Amino acid sequence: MLMEDDDPTPIYAQKLHEMLLEFSIITQRFWKHNTKDLTFGQGPGCSSVGEGAFVEHGPFKPKGDGLLKNDYSWNKAGDNLVFLEKWFHKYPQYKNRDFYITGESYAGHYVPQLATLIVHSKAKINLKGIAIGNPLLDFENDFNSRGEYLWSHGLISDDTYDMCNNVCNHSTLRRQSNSDAITPACSLVSTQASKEIGEFVNDYDVTLNVCLSDVFSQSQVLDPNPKIDVCVENETSIYLNRKDVQTALNARLVNVNEWEVCSSILEYAMSDMEEAMTPVLASLIKSGIRVFIYSGDQDSVLPLTGTRMVVNRLAKRLGLTTTLPYRAWINDNQVGGWAQVYGDSVLSYATIRGAAHEAPFTQPQRSIALFKCFLAGKPLPRAKDETDPNNH
């Protein structure tokens, strides 16, 4: 059933499919009926429905036996170019709207690739821009920034950081892990780092509490009314494995016994992770597509430090000058993060302060503020007493 914070009236599972259909078709009023957005979750092998729609920025979040309304929903649906063409054919009234693609994590690969397919195809899709959060863009650069991030946040010792730099770096470890052939040297580094970090730290948000097992009694340890439900992913798994919910979604299990957030059933060519995305992004920008890249700054898996380096190199490659210098942006009278803009707003980078790898999960208000500015093509708001350097 569905329960809103201010309305305890239950809406049962058999109504879920029609509510989700309504949310997938009708754009919320604050988008002013002029944009459509397609959002992807992380991966490889992870669910945009379970992780994105139910944990981060979908219309509902599981809670107990029911659903709670998400006041910071981004409200979107989609899958790939074939789906998009069929969807727009079925709903031609949306064809002329500005269209944007967003995603996070491994979407750093398939969002730019899908955008490229749209640009080079004859599809009548009015693509204007893409936004990708904590993205995998450059295999070596992105994964090797993890060691410095863990060390600078006090999660690993000086000795282990030295081992990360001189014995086995994180890109090497990830490459070996992908091929199931980890050397003794890399195994030693990985084991040592894992011991120091411990099991009660979330790699995707190093400051966030973890969801404890029933043995530890989560409700007794944490605030009974937390702003962030750290167990929402567990609750999502329970919810989506309910037979009545699967029936409402017209979903069925194929070759698996239960639904999982991330699955190894889907086979990916893991070597594709090493394909650099900067040439793809450069081509999109040259084609007039706006590119917005952002980082939740508490993510140690694909840290902001590595992403920011990739963005800076991309700007230099295209000869883009900085039009808005690196500065803090404001949300609700607090620092929402930091941002920099290149060229005529064709390339932007921003951090979301206090946000995880899945930024809308831990910072929904700041995330949707950034999302609105991206869609509107406007710079992120700054402090009222801050002058515009371009007006000097």
Domain extents for the chain? 2-137+232-384, 139-230
Q: Which of 299, 307, 271 is closest to 176 using CA atoms?
A: 271
Using the predicted structure, report yes or no on whether residue 384 has a pLDDT greater than 70.
yes
Distance in angstroms (rounded) separating the CA atoms of residues 320 and 346: 9
Using the predicted structure, report yes or no on whether residue 134 has a pLDDT greater than 70.
yes
Using the predicted structure, report yes or no on whether residue 90 has a pLDDT greater than 50.
yes
Distance in angstroms (rounded) separating the CA atoms of residues 112 and 284: 8
Mean pLDDT to the nearest integer, 162-171: 97
Distance in angstroms (rounded) separating the CA atoms of residues 203 and 68: 26
Using the predicted structure, report yes or no on whether residue 380 has a pLDDT greater than 80.
yes
Cβ atoms within 10 Å, residue 342: 23
Using the predicted structure, report yes or no on whether residue 321 has a pLDDT greater than 60.
yes
Mean pLDDT to the nearest integer, 143-149: 97
Cβ atoms within 10 Å, residue 254: 6
pTM assigned to the model: 0.78
pLDDT tens sequence across 341-372: 999 899 999 999 999 999 999 999 999 999 99
Q: Could you tell me the two tokens for 100?
A: 């944007």
The whole-number pLDDT of residue 263 equals 75
pLDDT above 90: percentage of residues in the chain? 55
62 upstream amide cis, omega within 30 of 0: no
Q: Answer whether 329's CB lies under 8 Å from 335's CB.
A: yes
The whole-number pLDDT of residue 279 equals 96
Using the predicted structure, report yes or no on whether residue 66 has a pLDDT greater than 70.
no
Looking at 47, 48, 73, 105, which residue is catalytic?
105
* 284 contacts: CB under 8 Å, gap ≥ 6: 112, 115, 116, 119, 130, 291
Looking at 299, 300, 348, 367, which residue is catalytic?
299
The verdict on whether 203 is a catalytic residue reads: no
Using the predicted structure, report yes or no on whether residue 378 has a pLDDT greater than 70.
yes
The whole-number pLDDT of residue 33 equals 45
The verdict on whether 105 is a catalytic residue reads: yes
The whole-number pLDDT of residue 80 equals 72
The verdict on whether 47 is a catalytic residue reads: no
Looking at 57, 109, 170, 357, which residue is catalytic?
357
Higher pLDDT pick, 358 / 256 = 358
Using the predicted structure, report yes or no on whether residue 274 has a pLDDT greater than 70.
yes
CA dihedral 95, 100, 105, 107 (to 10 degrees): 40
Q: pLDDT category, 230, cuts 50, 70, 90?
A: confident
Least confident of 10-19, 148-157, 210-219, 380-389: 10-19
Q: Answer whether 2's CB lies under 8 Å from 63's CB.
A: no
pLDDT tens sequence across 93-113: 888 899 999 999 999 998 999
pLDDT above 70: percentage of residues in the chain? 73
Q: Could you tell me the two tokens for 367?
A: 């995330």
Cβ atoms within 10 Å, residue 258: 9
**CATH number for the domain running over 2-137+232-384:** 3.40.50.1820
Q: pLDDT category, 2, cuts 50, 70, 90?
A: very low
Q: Could you tell me the two tokens for 215?
A: 């043995």
Mean pLDDT to the nearest integer, 53-60: 52
Q: pLDDT category, 264, cuts 50, 70, 90?
A: confident
The DSSP output letter for 275 is S
